[in-house]
A and B are shown apart, each in its own frame.
Chain A
Amino acid sequence: MTRKITLCAMLSAVAIALAYIELLIPVSTAVPGIKLGLPNLVVLITLYLMGTRYAFAVSMVRIFIVSLLFSGVSGLLYSLAGGLLSFAVMALFCRLRPFGIIGVSVAGAACHNIGQIGVSILLMATPGLLVYLPVLLLTGVVTGIVIGASAWVLLKRLRPVFDFIQQDFPFPDQT
């Protein structure tokens, strides 16, 4: 049990670090809320490695600490909206047999954007913000695919960690 808690804490730390790195990488400033979604890589891995509860913990810890450090209360609100919706969808999709890890990742990325824009629209009563959604969805698909593929590769290399916490590897029929 201690192994799992420790592992979860380490994963949360990695997620926070990735969130910081993400802020350093210049992405189009013309579109509000555009991001690479690097922390989602960790949430995704945790989802397959440790399950829903631990992944939720990693996601929430990341959102709160990164908001406290970098973006303030309004940032927290947008991040929570996107993060909660994205997590709910990812947790659901990862349990549905027809969807692979890339599907889960893209769904998560898309919902993160939809959640953030949705809350912005509600907060500012301006449906005109929807004009940014197409671009965000497109980049969400692209980053979702890349992050999903990265998570897949990483999970295969993390087999010793699965053994360490006595968890079954979720993709036994693939190398």
Chain B
Amino acid sequence: MIKKADILMILAVLLLAAGIWIAFALRPAGAQTVSVTVDGKPYGTYSLAENQEIEINQNGERNILIIKNGGVHMAQSNCPGGQCLAQGEIRDGGASIVCLPHRIYVELSGNSEYDAIVS
């Protein structure tokens, strides 16, 4: 039923998972911009600091994203399954909201728009 090679493979998979997790955990936090990608193309970038409602309409596939009080969440969606609605609110750098059926990806990024400001 289970052999040595199985155990080794399971360990390899777990190591891969750990590796990817560590790679993401090392990312800096403190996001300021919300970037929305639809169908692989940039849809828009918005400031996390400004309360706003973003409506995405693709031939009847409707989603509404709400930025409020430093967090983003998917407020409305007519996609089958509504998984994106259950993903909750994201506030941290590196977190994301995905609507797979409508191919929408919302990501937080950027500690600042500028790498450095010299005055």
Listed in ascending order, the chain A residues whose CB lies under 8 Å from chain B are 29-30, 32-33, 70-72, 74-75, 78, 96, 98-103, 106-107, 110, 120, 123-126, 128-131, 133-135, 137-138, 140-141, 145, 148-149, 152, 174
Contact = CB atoms under 8 A, between A and B. Distances in A.
Interface residues of B, number: 36
A107 B16 CA distance: 13
Given A74-B103, A100-B2, A102-B1, A130 B80 contact: no
Nearest to B101: A74
B9 A124 contact: no
A62 B31 CA distance: 42
Contacts, number: 111
Given A131-B24, A134-B20, A137-B17, A124 B103 contact: yes
Interface of B: 1-6, 9-10, 13-14, 16-18, 20-21, 24, 37, 39-41, 80-81, 83, 86-88, 94-96, 98, 100-101, 103-105, 107
B13 A110 contact: yes
A168 B37 CA distance: 53
A32 B86 contact: no
A120 B5 CA distance: 30
Contacts of A123: 39-40, 103
Contact of B37 (A70, A100, A124, A130): A124
B10 A106 contact: yes
16 contacts: A29-B83, A71-B81, A96-B5, A99-B5, A103-B10, A120-B98, A123-B40, A124-B98, A124-B103, A126-B96, A130-B24, A134-B17, A137-B16, A141-B14, A148-B1, A148-B2
Q: Which 10 A-B pairs have the closest CB atoms?
A: A103-B6, A125-B40, A98-B5, A29-B86, A137-B17, A134-B21, A134-B17, A100-B3, A102-B2, A126-B105
A133 B96 CA distance: 13
Contacts of A125: 37, 40-41
B2 A131 contact: no
